[in-house]
Amino acid sequence: MLEIKNLHVKLEEEDKQILKGVDLKVEAGKVHAIMGPNGSGKSTLSYVLSGRDGYEVTDGSAELDGAEILELDPEERAAAGLFLAFQYPVEIPGVGNMTFLRTAVNAQRKARGEEELSSGEFLKVVREKAKSLKIDADMLKRPVNVGFSGGEKKRNEILQMAMLEPRMCILDETDSGLDVDAMKLVADGVNALRDEGRAFLVITHYQRLLDHIKPDVVHIMADGRIVKTGGPELALEVEKNGYSDILNEVA
């Protein structure tokens, strides 16, 4: 579903190379986890895939279902089925959460040639999905993420994902700042979306999220590259010994 080849990325503003040849292939129906020390380029990878400004791709490619995405606008990537849950969700004062969700969902349906949802249909779906994430009616009415706690912001990211039903879901440290109960809600939300036709790239610092979202494949990223790939046992090894053993071994 997602195939990244030899991806090299530098900052536009300074001559700083951040991704130094990322190779990654994620198959439909699978959950891949990326772990790695702080500063290794995990968020940069997720930003570059989703089309954030400020980065220059100097080499390599990223294909979604066989089509190059790196030249597309962010909304075109979203319409193609890509979704990113941010490590740091952005507050959008003045834009109601419900309006935001409905606009996003309908824009995406339109891009796919599907009919827009009526307000009745939309309300029914959003209430049901919000309920399962313990997002109350008040949070749906407030401006996007404004005054939300860290955990509420992260749950709101998962609500967006559940509403948009993307094919390729990227979650950047969605577990950071969550207590155990909130993390379980988030994991349940992700697990409910697991499907043959959908894939996940779960970026996480800690193994504990992977107790709840069982990955098929675990990658370790360091200094702008994937340096090691294995099964779920790799995450347990990181939990037990930290990154230094693995980094020494590949050095």
Binding site for ligand ADP (CB under 6 A): 11, 18, 36, 38-44, 54
* Nearer of residues 34 and 185 to Mg ion, judged by Cβ: 34
Identity of the residue, 43 or 207, whose beta carbon is nearer to Mg ion in the bound complex: 43
* CB of 43 or CB of 160, closer to ligand ADP: 43
Identity at 231, one-letter amino acid code: G
Q: Which does 156 bind (CB under 5 to 8 A by kind): ligand ADP, Mg ion, none?
A: none
Residue type, 133: L
Least distance (Å) between residue 51 CB and Mg ion:
17
Alpha-carbon distance 247 to 250, whole Å? Answer: 5
The set of residues, in sequence order, having a beta carbon less than 8 Å from that of 184 and lying 6+ positions away, is: 212
From residue 122 to residue 161, the character string flagging contacts with Mg ion as x (rule: CB under 5 A) and all else as - is ----------------------------------------
Check binding of 38 to Mg ion (CB under 5 A): yes
What part of residues 51-110 is at the interface with Mg ion (CB under 5 A)? 87
- Residues 144 and 248: their CA atoms lie apart, in Å, by 43
Whether residue 109 contacts residue 117, with contact meaning beta carbons closer than 8 Å, is answered with: yes
Closest listed residue to residue 55, CA positions, set 16, 84, 90, 87: 16
Q: How far apart are alpha carbons 40 and 19 in whole angstroms?
A: 8
Q: Which of 4, 9, 43, 155 binds Mg ion (CB under 5 A)?
A: 43
Residues at the contact surface with Mg ion, assessed by CB under 5 A: 38, 42-43, 87
